[in-house]
Amino acid sequence: MAQVIADRRDVDFVLHEQFQVADLSKHEKFAEFNKKVVDMIVTEARNLSIKEILPTQKVGDEEGCRFEDGKVTVPEPFHRAYDLFVEGEWLAMPEDPEWGGQGMPKTLALAASDYFNGANYAFMMYPGLTHGAAKLVDAFGTDIQKKMFLKNMYTGKWTGTMLLTEPEAGSDVGALTSTAKKNDDGTYSITGNKIFISSGEHDLVENIIHPVLARIEGAPEGTKGISLFLVPKYWVNEDGSMGDFNDVACTGIEEKMGIHGNSTCSLSLGSKGQCKGLLLGEENKGMRAMFLMMNEARLLVGMQGFACASASYLNAVNYARERVQGRSLLEMKNPDAPAVPIIQHPDVRRMLLTMKAYVEGMRSILYYMAYCEDRKETTDDADEQAYWQGLIELLTPVAKGYVTDRSFEMCSLGVQVYGGYGYIKEYPQEQLLRDCRITQIYEGTNGIQAMDLLGRKLGMNKGKPVMDLLGEMNKTIASAKEHGLEELAEKFQKAVNKLGEVGMHMGAAAMSPQVLTAFSYAHPFMEVTGDVVTAWMLLWRAAIAKAKMGKKKKDDVYYGGLIKSAEYYIHTMLPATTGKMIAILNGNAAVVEIEEDAFGGK
C-alpha cells in the first residue's frame, strides 16, 4: 500500500476556497503568484516530496546518523534529497530573491512545507533550521554580515542551527554559562557547551553557521545579559571565503526515540581557545533577537507534528479500505456473511472521523497563521498590520502547543486503526508516532506554550488581540447561519461565549493571590482555546462547503465530508470542551495544595 502524506484536495481547498491565496497577487509584492503559479508550485513540491523525500523516511529512521571521530554522517539517501531540494530553491521560499529566495506568499510556502514535512520531517530539519538561522542574519545582521552569510544560507550551500540549550539551562535559558570575551579586532572569543542541537554537525554541506547565545563578560545575570553571536564551524572571511576550523567540536550525538535521521548533537565551543564569533544585533539583546527565530521555529514544529498526523490519518483511511476483517454488524447473525473492510465498522469510522476533523482543523489553523503574515505584508496601514500581528502572536502557542498535542493523539489513533500491524515496523504508523512525540517538547515545551498564552498573550495590548479573534469567529458564525448551518453556528456561539468567560476569569486569576492555581490550569486553558479555534476552522470550512454543494457534482462528496467533520466535532467533541471550561472556572486548587511527599516515588 502506497503511503500518502497530504490530501491535495484539502490543500487546494484551504489555499483557494478558505483563504483565496491567489488574491494576494493583486498586491505588487506577490504579483506573479496567480492561481496557475500557485498550483504549479504545490504540484512541484508534491512531486519532489513523493518521489525523492518520502523514500528517505524509513531508511533514515533505520540507518540513523553516525558519529565517529568528531564527525557525523547522515543517512546516505539524504544527500541526493538535499541536493535536489536546494537545486529547486525550496529552502527560502518566502524570502527576497536577491538573497536566494523566491519571494512567494508564506501561505503558499506553508503548503509546500505541508508536503515536505509529511514526507520526512527529520530530513527537513536541516533546511528548516537553516532558514530560521538565516532569518536572524536577515533581520539583525550588518550589511557586511549579510554579504558574508545570507545567500550561502538561503541557497542551502551552508546550513544553520540554533544553539540555546546547555546541560543546566534548558527551558531556563537565562541560566546559561557560555561566555563571550571581546577581542581587539571586534570579534568575540566564545567558550561553552551546548546540548540537544538539532543538525549541529553533519556531512551535507561544507560549513554550518551557528547562532549562539552567550553572556559577554561583565553582563547582567539572567536573560537581560544574553547576547547573540554568529559562530561558523569554519571561519568566514569578510569576502565570504572560508577560513580555518573554528573550534566548534561535536562531542557526541543522542540516541533518540524518533527523528533518527536528524543529528541531535552535543557541541563544545572553544575547548582549545580558538572559537570566534561575530556579535549579531546589539549586546545584551540576544533573547529578543532569538525570539524571532523561535517563533518561526514554533510554527515549524506545529507543522512537523501536524504532518505526522496528516500522513498517519491518510495511511489509516487507505488501510481501513483494504483491510478485510469481521462481518458487518448488520449481518452478525448470518454465519455465511462475508468479511468486510474495517472501514465499515462503526468504531473504526469513529476513529477515522476524529482524525479527519482534527487534521482538517489543524491544517486550517497553521495555514491561517501564514495567511495572517501575508495580510500583514500586503498593507501599509499600521493599525491593520498590528491587527494581524496581534492574531499571530496570540495564536502561536496554539499553533505549536495545541496542534502538537492533538497531532500525537491522532498518530496514536493511526496506530490503533491498523491494530497489531500498527505496532509493527513494517508499516509507517509506529514511526510517525515516535517522530511526532518530540514536537510536544522542543522549541518550548507545551507547558511553556500554555504559560505564554496565559501569562503574556491573553493580556497583550489590553486584550485587543483576544477581542479581534472573537470578532473573527463571530464573522464565521454569521456566515454559517446565512448558509443554513444555524444549529452548528448556535452551538459554536455558546462555546465562544464560554471561552470569553474563561479568558476573563483566567486573566484575573493570573493577577491575583491565586496565581499558582491559575497557572496550574494554563495547559487546560490552552487546550480549550485550541478546541474552540479548531471548531471555528471546521465551521468556516463547512459554511464554504454548504454554499458550494450541488454546483459541481464531483465536489459534493468532498464538501459533504467537510460538513460532517464540523457536525461531528461540534456535536461530539465540543461538549467535552465545555465541561473542561467549567472545570477551569471552578478552579480547584489540588495541584498546588498537595504535599510534595504525597506524590510518593521514594
pLDDT at 1: 63
Is 443 a catalytic site residue?
Answer: yes
How confident is residue 15, by pLDDT bands cut at 50, 70 and 90? very high
Q: What is the mean pLDDT of the chain?
A: 96
The mean per-residue pLDDT over the stretch 27-52 comes to 97
C-alpha 169/C-alpha 215 separation (Å) is 13
Domains 8-154 and 159-285 share a fold: no
Q: The CATH number of 8-154 is which of 1.10.540.10, 3.40.50.460, 1.10.3720.10, 1.20.1430.10?
A: 1.10.540.10
Q: Among the options 201, 373, 443, 527, which is catalytic?
A: 443
How confident is residue 169, by pLDDT bands cut at 50, 70 and 90? confident
**Residue range 333-377, pLDDT digits in tens:** 999 999 999 999 999 999 999 999 999 999 999 999 999 999 999
C-alpha 215/C-alpha 226 separation (Å) is 5
Ordered by start, the domain boundaries in the chain are 8-154, 159-285, 447-593
Q: Which fold has domain 159-285?
A: Butyryl-CoA Dehydrogenase, subunit A; domain 2 (2.40.110)
**Residue range 248-257, pLDDT digits in tens:** 999 999 999 9
Measure Cα distances from 292 to 131, 389, 493, 544, 552 in Å.
Answer: 12, 13, 34, 34, 44
HSE-CB at 319 with a 13 A cutoff on CA atoms is 24
Say if residue 545 is exposed, middle or buried (CB neighbours under 10 Å; 0-12, 13-18, 19+).
Answer: buried
Residue 494 amino acid letter: K
The pLDDT of residue 579 is above 70: yes
C-alpha 531/C-alpha 580 separation (Å) is 10
Residue 502 corresponds to which cell in the numbers above?
474563561
C-alpha 316/C-alpha 348 separation (Å) is 10
pLDDT at 168: 83
Contacts of 70 by beta carbon, 8 Å cutoff, 6+ apart:
201, 249, 250, 251
**Residue range 142-167, pLDDT digits in tens:** 999 999 999 999 999 999 999 999 98
pLDDT at 291: 79
The answer to whether 228 touches 141, Cβ cutoff 8 Å, is no
C-alpha 197/C-alpha 379 separation (Å) is 37
pTM (two decimals): 0.96
Residue 368 amino acid letter: Y
How confident is residue 2, by pLDDT bands cut at 50, 70 and 90? low
The answer to whether 525 touches 584, Cβ cutoff 8 Å, is yes
The answer to whether 232 touches 163, Cβ cutoff 8 Å, is no
C-alpha 109/C-alpha 41 separation (Å) is 9
